[in-house]
Amino acid sequence: MSENHTLSTRSLLGIRGLTRADIDLIHATAKEFKDVLNRPIKKVPSLRDLTVANLFFENSTRTRLSFELAEKRLSADVVNFSAAGSSVKKGETLVDTVNNILAMKVDMVVMRHPHPGAHQFLASKIDVPIVNAGDGTHEHPTQALLDTFSLRQSLGDDLTGKNIAIVGDIQHSRVALSNILALQTLGANVRVCGPHTLIPRHLHEMGVEVSHDLDETIRWADALNMLRIQLERQGPADAVRFFPSLREYTMNYGLTLDRLAQADKPLTIMHPGPINRGVEISSEVADSEHAIILEQVENGVAVRMAVLYLLAQGRG
Ligand code: NCD
């Protein structure tokens, strides 16, 4: 599969650092793996001799399962680690924890960590490819790769000039930054939409449009990526701090069928999950034919297979 091409990077630390050719190669490879996943035998021997460690220092359901399935479908050996119940609680440093795992002859590391930049730091200390499965509020590159892969399948391969809006809690979301970078690399027009308090000020400088009007954004967009309010990142005790109440947030920024009816063209609706039904998106919209939320999940496995496969090719 795509033997003649390799990624320009040894680790996937973020979308920053990937070239257009890298993204195209990952997507082309994911397309081939998606075909494999639809066959009766869903497994290929590509990573048969490799061991991958999934290190989750922060909670996860779908990303963790998706990586594990991707690894198993590539025939890798898999070890899983989660910070809860580990020696991390006894004061061990990140580098020591990871070096101990690597001493057991692990070939690749997939890591989620609450600290932005943890992967960059680790990459300077260890010698195996690292895949960033989310670093705090910073980046979540495989989510952006699967989101843009899903968009290309939905809107057509060429995203040049397509209008894509990311709606909700941009400030605390790692999905937002990775999506902005990936969409811009693919030539899309990117807009973020949400309350002033949930949109970082520097976004203008990145060439991203900013809107506080969801109805106008619906009329502008070809696709909407609806993000969850990241209450767990907004301060102590999961309290609402950046807007008056969840009810008011939903009145202004919740996506409902009534709101969608204003669009004069079919709109693609995305969500990285987990969904808060009735907050950022109504159940009717989440379950409607506009939504590609479960396709995103399906594509996630193929895209992660592609990333792991290509990084394994580039080991040297
Ligand atoms: C996202 C995450 O963890 O950043 N979820 C995911 O990976 N599917 C988004 C979120 O938590 O809202």
pLDDT, average across residues 98-107? 89
Domain ranges for the chain, please list them. Answer: 15-139+297-313, 141-296
Q: How far is the CA of 230 from the centre of ligand 1 (A)?
A: 9
Q: Which atom of ligand 1 is nearest to the CA of 228?
A: 12
Q: For domain 141-296, give the CATH number.
A: 3.40.50.1370
Q: Say yes or no to pLDDT of 3 above 60.
A: no
Lowest mean pLDDT: which of 1-10, 89-98, 150-159?
1-10
- Residue 89's pLDDT is 72
Pocket of ligand 1 (CB under 6 A): 62-63, 134, 140, 143, 174-175, 228, 272-273
Cα(253)–Cα(280) distance, integer angstroms: 6
Q: Tens of pLDDT along 157-194?
A: 999 999 999 999 999 999 999 999 999 999 999 999 99
Ligand 1: distance of its center to the CA of 272 in Å?
A: 6
Burial of 201 (0-12, 13-18, 19+ CB in 10 A): exposed
The C-alpha atoms of residue 253 and residue 279 are separated, in whole angstroms, by 8
CATH fold of 15-139+297-313 reads: Rossmann fold (3.40.50)
What is the tens place of the pLDDT at every residue in 103-131? 889 999 999 999 999 999 999 989 999 99
Residues near 246 by beta carbon (within 8 Å), at least 6 away in sequence: 229, 240, 279
- Ligand 1 atom with minimal separation from the 62 CA: 8
pLDDT at 32: 97
C-alpha distance from residue 25 to each of 2, 64, 211, 297 (Å): 8, 23, 33, 20
| 141-296 shares the fold of 15-139+297-313 | yes
Q: How much is the average pLDDT of 208-231?
A: 96
